[in-house]
Amino acid sequence: MRILIIDNGTSYLPQLKKLVANHIFEVAEYSKIDSASAENFDAIVLSGGHSFPVSGNSERLQKEISLVKNSKKQIFGICFGFEVIAEALGAKLELMQIKEQGILDIQVVSPDEIFLNIPNFQVFENHRWIVKEPASEMLVLARSKDGIEAFKHKTKPIYAVQFHPEMFVEKSCGDEIFYNFLNSIK
């Protein structure tokens, strides 16, 4: 499988590369995305990032937002990538009072093949923003005490998770969820 990782400035890029090590993959910086080339991949992963917020930076993220809106490929957004997808779909983001960092309990609210019938699980979080109001095209899949943790597009092959499946794989099941996404690609 060919996977394109859109690097949004994540400090977890080495761990993300480990998750896709059994596949052919390329990494492209968010500002240098070529939508036509992206269509040559089987899946696109939007990484986390921390250099600037998604909210208020839609012009800076125009190429990535356009990719989300127009691509027919399978897309998986992680943390910042989750926020980019939410913004592209018209969801409302909100800054949290306190940064969420550490292992967090997640509850599945809408069963999906990426969870393999697991009703709840633990994952690693590291973010300051939440989806305050989901967009109409979003199907919420999982929640935590902070709100929406996972969603998918109602009609397109797009998934997004607020957590980091690439981190603390021995203490969480984020990597299993990511692999389930990859295994779902036909």
Number of domains forming the structure of the chain: 1
CATH of residue 152? 3.40.50.880
What pLDDT sits at residue 1? 95
Query: Long-range contacts of range 28-35, CB-CB < 8 Å, 24 or more positions apart?
Result: 28/4, 30/6, 30/61, 30/63, 30/64, 31/60, 31/63, 32/63, 33/6, 33/63, 33/64, 33/67, 35/63, 35/66, 35/67, 35/70, 35/71
What pLDDT sits at residue 100? 87
What pLDDT sits at residue 46? 98
Q: Would you write out the chain's pLDDT as a tens digit for each of its 186 residues? A: 999 999 999 999 999 999 999 999 999 999 999 888 899 999 999 999 988 999 999 999 999 999 999 999 999 999 999 999 999 999 999 999 888 888 999 999 999 999 988 889 999 999 899 999 999 999 999 999 999 999 999 999 999 999 999 998 888 888 999 999 999 986
What pLDDT sits at residue 186? 64
Contacts of 167 (CB under 8 A, 6+ apart): 12, 15, 124, 126, 174
For 161, the domain range is 2-183
